[in-house]
Structure 1
């Protein structure tokens, strides 16, 4: 009988065309599937918690697949790691019940977006944050983000609408934190640091589901408020307009991380 194996993955999405398999382009999914085939000789199709876009990173992407292999659950992690490139890491491997489905079983997802507030480019930070030249008003951004919590139609933040049957989602947390650094590995919320050198602004949002480009669109619109180009009333109008053209720009991919998934 085939066994159901669950993996938790972390990856730097910089050089990948996103999670999903794409013709003639390298994706995270195709790379992991190739490593499983190299290990077992089996061609598998991974089910994932979410399809991250090109350039987006993950700290806790969850996937599962079925296999006839007899490899012990905890040995998948080291065995696959030797066959994967350095920018994809298997953090955990375990056997799960046959009915576990990484996509349909997900109840909550936490995303993190990192902004680097600096007038000078940092080549080591650039692949993992969106640089802003001038200071942002984080308190004003938080007041706007508070409007996102609850059950709402998020159509104004969905690219290429419609992508799903409904654009209604429930957000349980939308929080901005100013910090002097951020933990790029852990899934714990970032701790606030009001120090003078706190030049990172970290946005974390937890919801029961997300639309295409939703988090990046929200961040781009929040930055309009943070720059003081928009008022809270203008943000609220854009949110309620149910029109992507009314909201702000889509923030670049490199600042976004899929942090964790709750089942």
Structure 2
């Protein structure tokens, strides 16, 4: 039995999220159907975490077990033949049997993209949250720094409690103005004080339900000038979702990258690259 790791990018607009749901088509359902068509096997494709309805991914990681002998490069191209254009398998590789896309993840990076301009770009409406009113990105960044470190983030979790613990560690949280951003790259465009795009980049050891979008909605209050910078720290310490900002729309959010310890993702199979 082989264990196959997939790195997948998708436009989440037409899906109810990653996880199988009774009320719509999920990305997981579509990927599992593609595996079935290619290998004639019914498999459970498990991801690093679920993304919600309308949320996009550049580097979602998933895995499944198969008896198929198809080489990994052929698996990637073969699966793509059975997938719609808005779901792309970026890579397929064989990994150790014990690898688990969710439980072995050590860090995840998300990005929320805001187009801060009075004039909309029609081609980007599904991929950015446009805000016409000027935002103070520097104040948003300053406020965000109070969220760095290990905290109980229940103030930024929808429908608490969703997990056994709301404690997470945020390693990075940056708010920057950019002249643009490359959707296909983990790196946004060049920093520019007059840039029309605001990127909120956050890396943590895990995320709660709607955590990034709730943080974004809260930082927007600071960006509008409605709340002072130190309000975000106060909200964190109050430990109640009612005090935080609204949940930002899903279409500006991207799962950018998932990190794993190297020994858990490199296959020991003969002939595989190290």
Whether TM-score is above 0.5 comes out as: yes
Is residue 2:221 matched to residue 1:216? no
Is residue 2:234 matched to residue 1:237? yes
User: Are the aligned partners of 1:158 and 1:217 in contact in 2 as well (CA < 8 Å)?
Assistant: yes
User: Are the aligned partners of 1:128 and 1:255 in contact in 2 as well (CA < 8 Å)?
Assistant: yes
| Residue equivalent to 2:152 | 153
User: Are the aligned partners of 2:218 and 2:232 in contact in 1 as well (CA < 8 Å)?
Assistant: yes
Partner of 1:161, secondary structure, is coil
Q: CA deviation at 1:164?
A: 0.6
* 1:194 pairs with one of 192, 197, 219: 192
Q: CA deviation at 1:213?
A: 0.1
What is the TM-score of this pair, normalised by structure 1? 0.97
Q: CA deviation at 1:233?
A: 2.4
Q: CA deviation at 1:24?
A: 4.6
Q: CA deviation at 1:192?
A: 3.6
| Residue equivalent to 2:174 | 175
User: Are the aligned partners of 1:61 and 1:259 in contact in 2 as well (CA < 8 Å)?
Assistant: yes
Query: Aligned runs of 1:121-132 on 2, under 5 Å?
Result: 121-132=120-131
- Unmatched runs of 5 consecutive residues or more in structure 2: 261-274
In the alignment, the residues of structure 2 paired with residue 119 and residue 191 of structure 1 have an alpha-carbon distance, to the nearest angstrom, of: 20
Spell out, residue by residue over 1:65-100, the C-alpha distance to the aligned partner (whole angstroms, 9 max, x if none).
Answer: 000101012211111111100000000000000000
Spell out, residue by residue over 1:99-133, the C-alpha distance to the aligned partner (whole angstroms, 9 max, x if none).
Answer: 00001000000000000001122221111111111
Partner of 1:124, secondary structure, is helix
In the alignment, the residues of structure 1 paired with residue 242 and residue 31 of structure 2 have an alpha-carbon distance, to the nearest angstrom, of: 37
In the alignment, the residues of structure 1 paired with residue 65 and residue 173 of structure 2 have an alpha-carbon distance, to the nearest angstrom, of: 35
What is the TM-score of this pair, normalised by structure 2? 0.93
In the alignment, the residues of structure 1 paired with residue 144 and residue 123 of structure 2 have an alpha-carbon distance, to the nearest angstrom, of: 29
Q: What count of residue pairs does the alignment treat as equivalent?
A: 260
Partner of 1:165, secondary structure, is coil
In the alignment, the residues of structure 2 paired with residue 39 and residue 123 of structure 1 have an alpha-carbon distance, to the nearest angstrom, of: 37
| Residue equivalent to 1:18 | 17
User: Are the aligned partners of 1:110 and 1:261 in contact in 2 as well (CA < 8 Å)?
Assistant: yes
